[in-house]
A and B are shown apart, each in its own frame.
Chain A
Amino acid sequence: MHEYSVVSALIDEVEKRAKGAGALRVALITVKLGAQSGVDPRLLATAFETFSDRGLCAGAELVLEEVPARWACPRCGEAPAPGGPLRCARCERPLELKEGDEILLAHLELEVPDHVY
């Protein structure tokens, strides 16, 4: 359940940014999670509910955008058959993971007093 430590790092980062922007509270947090990131979206959502009960993130909505794994040959761009070997069928090179390992804080919506901006 490393999702708890991922959420704790997420909340630290969001609080830092929210404070820096003079926000009263965080309304929305968008996180991008790759299918190959090793982080489970469902467990991350549960951990967030548990840990976001106070502070600027209290009541914030967490939106998880799941990014599918995308493998491709570094030379010819050929993609593997789903679940197939990770070697290019055409030029035999090891494939590269182009997308799908990210654990990213992508976007925030902050509630700020009118006089701040």
Chain B
Amino acid sequence: MCTDCGCGDTHLVPVAVHEKILAKNDRDARHNREHFVEAGVLAINLMGSPGSGKTALLEATARAARGLRLGAVSGDLATDNDARRLERAGIPAKAITTGNACHLDAEMVHAALHGMGWRETDVFFIENVGNLVCPAVYDLGEAANVVALAVTEGEDKPLKYPTMFRGADLVVLTKVDLLPHLGDFSMSTLRDALARVMPEPNVIEVSARTGQGIEQWLSWLEARRPRRTKVGVHHHEHAHHDHSG
């Protein structure tokens, strides 16, 4: 018995829990997903190493967009350079500066959507922080995960970062205009590496500079667009705030 405060003896109680540690992020992601689906917006989580060509891919997408209305948020530790590049390319965009965080989470994306006309887009890109590790862990509410991989990164990148590629619905192989300068790059080695980390490997080869493959990429996006079942904006029951801003 404790004689200091009279708190009494203690004992240990085992508690079985079995709860996802990122359950809160998953809930926030589900919330984002409901909004995207209900508004008929295709949300894409675009990931890849720093310098893999994510922003250049979106710029090239805007140039060839076939009337698709695009929007984006762009995550980086500091600066709004990428968002400004996207704006110049004609994509309404907002920067999410994460400070020291190495990835976006669903709450950051949700906060950024406020004050943006994301409902008036057909395809909304969430350009993640350049990183092949951390973003793979966080669901953002996207409809599909796309990984940009530059030909200069090496064919064994998928084997080195299997978790990122396992979760990808599509790998966009970027900068293929550089292939003539990369004597030892082997497409079959890359495809073999992808087959060992992705159950359904799917690759589109693009060059943002020459426009090669961009049509195929647009067709991939078009095929995934949800059909708007209702005309106009449909508001679901929403307890805490509205998203029309």
Contacts and interface: CB of A to CB of B under 8 A. Distances in A.
Contacts, number: 114
Interface residues of B, number: 39
Given A9-B21, A105-B19, A2 B137 contact: yes
A46 interface: no
Contacts of B8: 113-115
A39 to B, nearest CB: 7
Tell me whether chain B's interface is mostly helix, strand or loop, or mixed. mixed
A112 interface: yes
Interface stretch (B22-30, B49-57, B178-186, B225-233): B22-30
B10 A113 contact: yes
B102 A86 contact: no
Contact of B21 (A10, A36, A107, A117): A10
B6 to A, nearest CB: 10
A103 B134 CA distance: 13
B77 interface: no
Contact of A109 (B9, B14, B105, B138): B14
Interface string B172-211: 0000000000000000000010011111100000000000
Tell me whether chain A's interface is mostly helix, strand or loop, or mixed. mixed
Contacts of B192: 85
Contact of A84 (B18, B105, B162, B196): B196
Contacts of B199: 71, 86-87, 94-97
Contacts of A107: 14-17
A17 interface: yes
Contact of A17 (B17, B21, B101, B164): B17
A112 B10 contact: yes
A36 to B, nearest CB: 6
Given A109-B15, A113-B9, A6 B163 contact: no
